[in-house]
Amino acid sequence: ALRKGSDLEKAFATAALVYNNYADHESKLSKSETKSLLQSQFWHFMQGQENKPKYQEIMSSLDEESENKINFEDFMILLVSLTLMSDLLQEIKNVKTTK
């Protein structure tokens, strides 16, 4: 559907597709499923963040036993939060692309 979409549109479409592939029939993820998805699909951004208090807080919240599931909106907020604290983000910012 987004063959002619921009890189940014394709990136968000990919995030939505990955989320939907992991989500249940209610389009939600359990906290353990969310953690598994992040560890398998987002590990480059999470690598080296283990000592950061905010990272520890986020990951601990995914370990809590709770009936609460994560919807797509909360998942995207989680992705943005992890991206903003990532050391990889700084490396990405330092790369200049030419078009």
Q: Report the CATH number at residue 73.
A: 1.10.238.10
Per the structure, the complete domain to which residue 45 belongs is given by: 2-98
Scan for tokens 């330092």, then name that residue. 94
End-to-end CA distance of the chain: 24
CA atoms of 48 and 75, how far apart (whole Å)? 21
DSSP H helices, 23-63, are 31-41, 43-46, 53-63
> What are the pLDDT digits (tens) for 22-81?
999 999 999 989 999 999 999 988 988 889 888 899 888 888 877 789 999 999 999 999
**Counted domains in the chain:** 1
Report yes or no on whether pTM surpasses 0.85: no
